[in-house]
Structure 1
């Protein structure tokens, strides 16, 4: 679906009028044989003047420091406090369970369906491989950062040259997710979830410790505030709130208190929290006692997240209502789901996601009268056609993008039916009625995406329709039914290569933001973006923190975001960098997206150069940083 006007391009002296060919393109190719234009150099004389002068060491070394955000003088409220909303959930019962270890003696309260014996049996059933505990067992008190940690690194010689500023309401912050940073897997009443026992990438889970953020959260927040970060985006662990997952089961008081204190501490340090309700960490109850199902290759996404379970929708709504009634007074931005397509097994999975989101959005807006914003964030490395002059490549790109995006935002934003790309792919999709669409429309206040890079798309050998009709899970093309590659039609990689699939592709980001704004007509939020530098884990610590490629990634993406705002008229809500520290990348500690290093033996954090460069880039261009 095109959102930008087509252009006439001069190519080798010939004019190609793409519109006349019926081509709807996202990118174009221009042949350039002459020297690159340098308009800033027009006043330079043609001949230099040679001369002698007295020599002296003239270079200087300037010490610059990161600046902490100021503590707030008032706290804005976005909904009534829990004391006013508790009557909306009158059946909530709270309890505590303590910690679990495989060597613990058996509990004796087996008559209690939700007692310690029942809770311990959840972990015994999960049977986590190689279970271990970390260094800490209680919350660590924060300490102020020494100024020596806040000295800015040397600048890169070539830096951004843009002259644009961010709007005053532009959100800038950093992000993380519970399973990737918290650790304390079976501590203080938390129940097991999918990611406690399963790594999507085939390695053993090993996320029982991760960054021990559950105990170190105050020091982590102290560090972010000292760097000048304004927004901290995190996810809540469902099984830390409801170990037994389902409606009517007891609420873990320790979990409620933990996130309550975390939110309060974020605010006390001058920052603003944003919350994701579920970030892939589905409670095990939704696999109906069959844990081997977690290894099943999903029919639509990459993994089976259990969303298709008949009890999931109601349980998700119950869990979300608990979060909203407890924390919505202090949290202005909510994400119900993180990248739900990736963990959707089939059409019923998608139905559960959009229905649960719609119900929670109405609860937030209509029942508790929340004044913040609510949405969900989607995975999509934007598909661009291999050849914009080839109509089949353009059709493949449109199929790919609508399958990822319009499947959710057609009903949740536009109030219209699923796209054809979804209906022809998910043969068991649940049809939406007219009343469904009326209820679901405008239940997202924004469109949030995690646009790490782009992918180059063309039609598969057998064609899109034939691939979708056969729905062969063994096909290398299903379920997207397109060919994806990481190089353009001239054979060049699409950008600078990272540790994983991620490339630096800033120009395409601007195209993507235009697509989102003009298609869905809601403010656009970059809810995750980041870059794992190639081979970073193999480098010495001093070289790990000097991560210039990551600086280039962040600054170029934000430069293109500014162009989208000022030159294209795109309403950008904000950007959240992934991630605030190296973490557990779903089975891997060596693929490092972090703005800080983490010593796995001591849990010591160290700021990377990219963190300073990212914050400086925003501070220099954001009016709300002028006083801080």
Structure 2
């Protein structure tokens, strides 16, 4: 591929944007609003067996199929200075990344790995030196394999103590330079994918016939794991507030995946089903965090399969997040599914419990998304109205396209400007949204797609030994937007659009 500089796309981007009115710019957002982009440790760092790092469940899981793995990924471990320079040239104000638990604490607990500690200190220093705010996620699916083997990871309450100790190390070592912490990445989808559907590590399931799970119980484990995720978050949050917050003055939050959810028809049944889906997808985690307990509809449907908070646990979980991290990509339609009374509780899973059928709009699926900005605005409006308008950071939003050498990703530009416009509309309508992170800075190893599709603003040539980075049109568009040289017309946000 020919060498392409970031600035060489600017004229193309400006031409693309001229069809939009001078409706909004970066300057229309609140003064302290953060625009950034994101990665995660396993998807970006590579160096899987270097400098003391040991396997996580993600290593084990990714080596069990043919979609590739993160052994090398983008080699961010060795190329972080180059990547931070690209971020600075793009004008990023913040960078979201995660810390590999096994790179920092190879045995899951106990002694630190000096080389892992040095890597993260250097990365944070490099970001700060370029004026980029680090936003750190503690857990992005990569539980130490040794803890999974020892006691089963997130389905055992022992994880609460080990996760809190890991968080303590991170707060102590990095907290003077990190002001934004997310404890758990998209906890709801993690619990569903890892323990009901078997499509995320450690790959537990009992009802998904499309996935070869050797262990699991889809009727109980997602709710046990979800309960322990909330308790681990609350424990780490309590530790931070008691031990570090007064000195470090940071904020700590919890992340969920939030689909836009809309009734498929105008029928009462589909309307009720959509509200139930909102409680299952979002309320499952947010109602305990904001109000101290699970949604009533979940308690009624699940009965004894849903764990119960003690009075003390309820108090600890309630109010434990300074902000909510939202991960949003697309919108789906919801229709009520026919009840299956003959289905025994032991044969149920998250989706049969929820009692709905999901219909992806247009050509969307779990792997490809349509541009549906009105659904994004509806998510932010729902959170404002239903959960006391919490502070929100959009921790992931982006468009996957086939990974190839085509740098003219105009579809991603259209998607991004539409969703940023939808977010601005929500903010003008009172949403306390404080930051936006595009997924992803560069092409990564994607868990569900390997290297076949990508979200990156920068193309990575995975066939090149040097893993050469080249800017896509979207990188230049984002640069122009952040610099105030691109003016964007607000998207049409009605459901009929």
| TM-score, scaled to structure 1 | 0.67
SS in structure 2 opposite 1:275? strand
Which of 349, 352, 356 is the matching residue for 1:482?
A: 356
Q: Say if 1:462 and 1:536 are closer, same or farther in 2 by CA, change over 3 A.
A: same
The 8 Å contact of residues 467 and 478 in structure 1, kept in 2 or not, is answered as no
Q: What does the per-residue CA deviation read over 1:86-109, in whole Å, with 9 as the maximum and x for residues that have no partner?
A: xxxxxxxxxxxxxxxxxxxxxxxx
2:243 aligns to what? 367
Structure 1, unaligned stretches of length 5 or more? 1-145, 294-305, 488-492, 623-628
Q: Does 1:158 align with 2:25?
A: no
The 8 Å contact of residues 424 and 469 in structure 1, kept in 2 or not, is answered as no
* Structure with bigger RCO (C-alpha 8 Å, 6+ apart): 2
The 8 Å contact of residues 374 and 445 in structure 1, kept in 2 or not, is answered as yes
1:18 aligns to what? none
Quick check: which one's helix share is greater?
2
Q: Does 1:175 align with 2:38?
A: yes
**CA distance in structure 2 between the aligned counterparts of 1:416 and 1:469, rounded to whole angstroms:** 26
Report the Cα offset of residue 421 of structure 1: 2.3
Report the Cα offset of residue 615 of structure 1: 3.0
The 8 Å contact of residues 510 and 564 in structure 1, kept in 2 or not, is answered as yes
Which of 427, 430, 433 is the matching residue for 1:569?
A: 430
2:207 aligns to what? none
SS in structure 1 opposite 2:454? coil
**CA distance in structure 2 between the aligned counterparts of 1:159 and 1:222, rounded to whole angstroms:** 30
Q: Which structure's CA Rg is the greater one? A: 1
1:522 aligns to what? 390
2:179 aligns to what? 332
The 8 Å contact of residues 460 and 477 in structure 1, kept in 2 or not, is answered as no
The 8 Å contact of residues 286 and 311 in structure 1, kept in 2 or not, is answered as no
Report runs of 4+ in structure 1 exceeding 4 Å deviation: 466-469, 496-499
SS in structure 1 opposite 2:305? coil
**CA distance in structure 2 between the aligned counterparts of 1:609 and 1:179, rounded to whole angstroms:** 26
The 8 Å contact of residues 381 and 454 in structure 1, kept in 2 or not, is answered as yes
SS in structure 2 opposite 1:190? coil
**CA distance in structure 1 between the aligned counterparts of 2:100 and 2:158, rounded to whole angstroms:** 18
1:598 aligns to what? 460
Report the Cα offset of residue 581 of structure 1: 0.6
Q: What does the per-residue CA deviation read over 1:23-59, in whole Å, with 9 as the maximum and x for residues that have no partner?
A: xxxxxxxxxxxxxxxxxxxxxxxxxxxxxxxxxxxxx
Report the Cα offset of residue 428 of structure 1: 2.8
Q: Say if 1:479 and 1:579 are closer, same or farther in 2 by CA, change over 3 A.
A: farther
Q: Does 1:452 align with 2:320?
A: no
SS in structure 1 opposite 2:106? coil
Which of 410, 415, 435 is the matching residue for 1:548?
A: 410
Q: What pairs with 1:91-490 in structure 2 (closer than 5 Å)? A: 148-151=5-8, 152-154=10-12, 155-156=15-16, 157-159=18-20, 161-163=22-24, 165-199=28-62, 202-246=65-109, 249-288=110-149, 306-344=153-191, 345=195, 346=221, 347-369=223-245, 370-387=248-265, 389-421=266-298, 424-425=301-302, 427-462=304-339, 466=341, 470=345, 472-473=347-348, 477-487=351-361
The 8 Å contact of residues 160 and 559 in structure 1, kept in 2 or not, is answered as no
Between stretches 273-282 and 415-424, larger displacement belongs to 415-424
Q: What does the per-residue CA deviation read over 1:461-517, in whole Å, with 9 as the maximum and x for residues that have no partner?
A: 227xx59973635x7943543100113xxxxx2xx7589232211011111110012
**CA distance in structure 2 between the aligned counterparts of 1:551 and 1:261, rounded to whole angstroms:** 32
Report the Cα offset of residue 556 of structure 1: 0.3
Q: Say if 1:476 and 1:191 are closer, same or farther in 2 by CA, change over 3 A.
A: closer
Report the Cα offset of residue 363 of structure 1: 1.4
**CA distance in structure 2 between the aligned counterparts of 1:478 and 1:289, rounded to whole angstroms:** 31
How many residue pairs get aligned? The number is 443
Report the Cα offset of residue 343 of structure 1: 3.0
Q: What does the per-residue CA deviation read over 1:379-407, in whole Å, with 9 as the maximum and x for residues that have no partner?
A: 122221112x3121112111112112122
| TM-score, scaled to structure 2 | 0.83
**CA distance in structure 1 between the aligned counterparts of 2:271 and 2:366, rounded to whole angstroms:** 29
**CA distance in structure 1 between the aligned counterparts of 2:366 and 2:230, rounded to whole angstroms:** 33
2:202 aligns to what? none
Structure 2, unaligned stretches of length 5 or more? 196-220, 487-497
**CA distance in structure 1 between the aligned counterparts of 2:101 and 2:350, rounded to whole angstroms:** 34
Q: Say if 1:235 and 1:398 are closer, same or farther in 2 by CA, change over 3 A.
A: same
The 8 Å contact of residues 514 and 570 in structure 1, kept in 2 or not, is answered as yes
**CA distance in structure 2 between the aligned counterparts of 1:172 and 1:409, rounded to whole angstroms:** 24
Q: Say if 1:503 and 1:202 are closer, same or farther in 2 by CA, change over 3 A.
A: farther
Q: Say if 1:419 and 1:243 are closer, same or farther in 2 by CA, change over 3 A.
A: farther
The 8 Å contact of residues 258 and 379 in structure 2, kept in 1 or not, is answered as no
Report the Cα offset of residue 338 of structure 1: 0.5
Q: Say if 1:147 and 1:455 are closer, same or farther in 2 by CA, change over 3 A.
A: closer
